[in-house]
Homo-oligomer: A and B are copies of this chain.
Amino acid sequence: MVFDILGYKIKETKAPICVGLDTAYDYLPDYCRSELNENDPFETMASDILKFNTAIIDEIFDIVPAVKIQIAYYEMYGYHGLKAYKETIDYAHAKGMVVICDAKRGDIGATAAAYSTAFLGGVEAAGKIHHAFEADILTVNPYLGSDGIEPFLNDMEHSGKGIFVLVKTSNPSSGEFQDKLCEGKANYLQVAEKVAEWGEKFIGRTGYSSVGAVVGATYTEQAKELRELYPHMFLLIPGYGAQGAGGDDIAVAFDAHGGGAVVNNSRGILLAYKQERYKTVSFELAARAATLDMKEDILAALKRAGKEI
């Protein structure tokens, strides 16, 4: 099951980190930009983005277990962008990485089944299974309830793949609906309860279910609470770095052995080359250095919290 694999890889690298490849074209240094095809600029932009991504992956695949690839940044560039999305996924897989597709999909049953086919299941055609975007783990939105989640669970049955359900997101206004007190319990806790229920039959060898949850590093109390309430729930922690959280904020989300969570950093790594600290090196070496600094920060915080990996 996918969180067993991710857990082993985290132990091996001592890096509970996924690098977020949220690669907007604007993030590319000038020297990475080819001359645009005026009639179809997305083609050139997408191909430059893919080159940038593969250079980053080459520098991080040996030090972190996973990438999280946010599809919005590729959708901006149309189907060319989505071709780069697919090729980034495939390249990360070829380098042995766990791939989290961050798409936050959610819809009614029949449509959720189509999303699940796109990211988890695959389409049978010409005697083979073909994958549109081959995720190991997909992020999903819970607002539509169980029948919008079931198609993903069905595709997880035999594949060992996983999902992260949005529970408490990292953004400033996440509380507007997520924190509302609903029938005696905050809304995000109502969602978490369902996440645990959906995940019951997917618990792997390392004790974690393939149905995990997203909880923002910017909400330390909620991350701590979820970690304590749900020992089988693997947590994806966005919000480190550019969004403001540091190592000590996220240590609470880990179990006693420094397991059960993976922390994402996107802009802090992709744009490291713009920081004073890293600006003497190329973008990909800056990304590697920033990733190693993040690892050190998290390991030190886990040590202070008595949760060494």
Contacts and interface: CB of A to CB of B under 8 A. Distances in A.
Contact of A141 (B143, B170, B172): B143
A281 interface: no
B182 A132 contact: no
Nearest to A122: B76
Interface stretch (A10-18, A34-42, A292-300): A34-42
A86 B77 contact: no
Most buried by B among A25, A86, A148, A182: A182
Interface string A61-74: 00000000010110
A104 interface: yes
Instruction: Categorize the interface residue count of chain A.
Output: 35 or more
A159 interface: no
Interface stretch (A51-59, A173-181, A248-256, A301-309): A173-181
Contacts of A147: 171-173
A245 interface: no
B114 A72 contact: yes
B178 A187 contact: no
